[in-house]
């Protein structure tokens, strides 16, 4: 389901001796990627010619044998020449899917590197570790890895209907499957049951794994599940949802357009199964 075939990309933290032929450079201003007006990754020569000064640089790994680098540019740098800065979410369907997947890794490495220059425990300047992708404090030895926040997303079904909710942050009229962060000390399945109950007062069971998707906005790993209704009536007064309802395939509310995220894959899976009956 992910755009990146697992074995076409070899992650790495140690920079090779030479960048080799046609390396791929993912240059970021904040979380925005430097792209051509068509939304493609610029050639390395095109980036080099701009003479941009990188605050920091990281080796990310190799895609089909081509070395990939991330560059952190100064936060307020104007768009150089004919190139543009674009949020990765705006580049779905434009940037090559494999480049998009590597860019999702690269932006998180850039962000981790930028925010872990000093020890969170004692304040000392940190150093990059040789053995893995981490920085470490030379005084108190505190290690710092890129942050990854596991989140769950779930399609709850009851007699041919699906439970959809509306967050106040969604565009008007849009509904989606329920989602939330996994808390320290709970399994992903426990998190599914807790979140659905907290948001809607519905009790679910038969929680089954569906698939996952990295979601680097800013650093989630979305774990997708399906679950079955057990008991309860919808009540959204206790939590963050504006509304929730059971939806029949023939009477669906508006949902996020496209087929780029696991919320849409879950929804499409439900609709396909419903229509094949
Ligand atoms: Zn320290």
- pLDDT tens digit string along 143-164? 999 999 999 999 999 999 999 9
Residues of the chain with pLDDT > 90: what percent? 87
Q: Measure 56 CA to ligand 1 centroid, in angstroms.
A: 21
CA of 148 to the centre of ligand 1 (A): 21
Long-range contacts of 256-263 (CB under 8 A, 24+ apart): 256/174, 256/176, 258/92, 258/93, 260/92, 260/93, 261/213, 261/215, 261/222, 262/1, 262/153, 262/210, 262/211, 262/212, 262/213, 262/215, 262/222, 262/224, 263/153, 263/176, 263/177, 263/179
Q: What is the pLDDT of residue 81?
A: 83
Contact between 253 and 212 (Cβ < 8 Å): no
Q: Compute, in angstroms, the gap from residue 51 CA to the centroid of ligand 1.
A: 35
Range(s) of the chain covered by CATH 3.90.79.20: 6-115
Distance 147 CA to ligand 1 centre (A): 18
The pTM of this model reads 0.90
How far apart are the CA of 129 and the centre of ligand 1, in A?
Answer: 14
CA of 125 to the centre of ligand 1 (A): 8
At 257, is the pLDDT very low, low, confident or very high (cuts 50, 70, 90)?
confident
Mean pLDDT of the residues in the chain: 94
Overall average pLDDT of the 108-135 stretch: 95
Q: Which fold has domain 149-275?
A: Nucleoside Triphosphate Pyrophosphohydrolase (3.90.79)
Whether residue 233 has pLDDT greater than 60? yes
| Residue 1 pLDDT grade (very low, low, confident, very high; cuts 50, 70, 90) | very low
Cα-to-centroid distance, 57 and ligand 1 (Å): 23
Res. 3 pLDDT band, cuts 50 70 90? low
Going from the Cα of 265 to the center of ligand 1, the distance in angstroms, rounded, reads 43
Name beta bridge partners: 215: 220
Supply 194's token pair: 């807790």
Distance 127 CA to ligand 1 centre (A): 11
Confidence of residue 80 (pLDDT cuts 50, 70, 90): confident
Q: What stretch(es) of the chain map to CATH 3.90.79.10?
A: 149-275
Q: How far is the CA of 134 from the centre of ligand 1 (A)?
A: 14
CA 136–ligand 1 middle distance (angstroms): 8
Residue 4 has pLDDT above 90, yes or no: no
CA of 116 to the centre of ligand 1 (A): 11
Mean pLDDT across 244-268:
94
**Cα of 82 to ligand 1 centre, how many Å?**
43
> So what's the pLDDT on residue 277?
78
What's the CATH code, domain 6-115?
Answer: 3.90.79.20
Q: What is the Cα–Cα distance from 163 to 200, expressed in whole angstroms? A: 9
CA–CA gap between residue 26 and residue 34 (Å, rounded):
7
Contact 226, 266 (CB under 8 A): yes
Q: How confident is the model at residue 273 (pLDDT cuts 50, 70, 90)?
A: very high
Q: Please tell me the predicted confidence (pLDDT) of residue 2.
A: 52
pLDDT above 70 coverage of the chain, percent: 99
CA 223 to centroid of chain Cα atoms: 11
Ligand 1 centroid–CA 74 distance in Å is 27
């Amino acid at each position: 389901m992910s755009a990146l075939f697992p074995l076409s990309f070899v992650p790495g933290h140690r920079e090779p001796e030479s960048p080799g032929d046609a390396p791929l450079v993912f240059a970021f201003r904040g979380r925005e990627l430097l792209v051509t007006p068509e939304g493609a990754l610029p050639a390395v020569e095109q980036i080099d010619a701009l003479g941009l000064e990188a605050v920091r640089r990281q080796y990310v790994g190799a895609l089909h044998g081509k070395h990939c680098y991330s560059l952190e540019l100064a936060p307020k740098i104007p768009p150089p020449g004919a190139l543009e800065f674009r949020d990765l979410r705006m580049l779905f369907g434009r940037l090559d899917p494999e480049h998009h997947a590597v860019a999702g890794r690269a932006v998180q490495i850039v962000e981790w590197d930028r925010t872990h220059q000093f020890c969170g425990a004692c304040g000392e300047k940190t150093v990059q570790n040789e053995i893995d992708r981490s920085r470490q404090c030379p005084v108190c030895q505190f290690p710092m890895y890129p942050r990854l926040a596991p989140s769950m997303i779930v399609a709850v079904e009851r007699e041919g209907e699906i439970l959809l909710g509306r967050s106040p942050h969604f565009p008007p009229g849009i509904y989606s499957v329920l989602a939330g962060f996994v808390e320290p000390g709970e399994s992903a399945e426990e998190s599914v049951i807790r979140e659905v109950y907290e948001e809607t007062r519905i009790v679910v069971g038969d929680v089954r794994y569906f698939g996952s998707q990295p979601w680097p906005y800013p650093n989630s790993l979305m774990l997708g599940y399906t679950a079955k209704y057990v008991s309860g009536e919808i009540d959204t007064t206790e939590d963050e949802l504006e509304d929730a309802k059971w939806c029949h395939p023939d009477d669906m509310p508006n949902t996020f357009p496209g087929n780029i995220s696991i919320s849409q894959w879950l929804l499409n899976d439900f609709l396909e199964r419903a229509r094949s009956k």
